[in-house]
Amino acid sequence: MDQNSTQHIARMAIVGFGEVGSAFARALTAAGRKVSVFDIKLNDDVTRATIVGRARECGALVAENLATALRDAQLVFSAVTASQAEVVATASAEHLTAGQTFIDLNSVSPAVKQRNSEQIERHGADYVEAAVMAPVPPQGVRVPMLLGGRLAKQTAEILNSLGMRTEAVSQDIGLASAVKLCRSIMIKGMEALCVQSMLAAKQFDVDGRVLASLAASFPRAGWDTGYEAYLIGRVVEHGQRRSEEMREAALMLDGLGMSSALATAIADVQQELAARAAPLSESLDPRGRLPEWRTLLNLPEAVNALSEVTERTGSRSPELVDKI
């Protein structure tokens, strides 16, 4: 890859064509780049049409397999789930050569990013880790991202010239991801706290009083204008993916010799609600909030399942669901 100019960066590939992948494809094709996309959902007759239609809307080319998607791509973006990040890096490495750069957007532990880097570079390609530091909608490719790796600075210059907002933070792999996951413990933790607090308060019919108290304690946070509906909505829509990210945070904490109990509990709350409330995604408003959570989530079985989370003392192996 020519690191001195973007005019030679003409072909790109995106692996994983969900929320992030489609946003990137739309912006990159609008910038005049040729983008090939691949998603394992193309192999499923039920989901294939959705992926193909989304790619057509973005102006991207659909590749029938991973090798075809990566062929001749100068930049390769991996935007899959945490559970699939290492699998995709390992599979991609077999098809990459010198002159190609693999940009790992996935929310995984520093250790996984380091292993992914080793896999990619062993085959002669370059590896750059990326940490997405905020929700992609509504910012799209303007979402802040931290980059790490030997080519982080040069890659940041290229991506920024394409309309992105990236910052190179280290030549070492793992530090950008550490920033991301440490932040995620706070953000996803707040969501989990809100879910349990509101569902419990609703059972006692005191949710209004709890929200009024929070608004008085934190007057500019939005507790009196639907902030709880936004936090609950994020879990309903993205809880499965967020639970996987928090399990990666737990692995990071384990590696540091710290307790991962809190991160694991957050993951459990996210996963429990997402599993039970998946059909409610259609009830989210344009801002991602679930305004009618009091009615829609007023299910005793959901409350009981979530209350069990606090009684767990160890992690469990989640049944992961691909949401690429």
Lookup: tokens for 278: 């998946």
Quote the DSSP letter at residue 42: G
Nearest to 127 by CA among 158, 96, 157: 96
DSSP of 186-241: HHHHHHHHHHHHHHHHHHTT-HHHHHHHHHHHSTTS-TTTTHHHHHHHHHHHHHHH
Nearest to 278 by CA among 262, 302, 304, 294: 302
Residues belonging to the active site: 180
Residue 174 to residue 286: CA distance in whole angstroms: 35
Q: Dihedral sign for Cα 279, 282, 283, 284, please.
A: positive
DSSP of 240-260: HHHHHHHHHHHHHHHHTT---
Mapping DSSP to helix (H, G, I), strand (E, B) and coil, where does residue 173 land?
A: coil
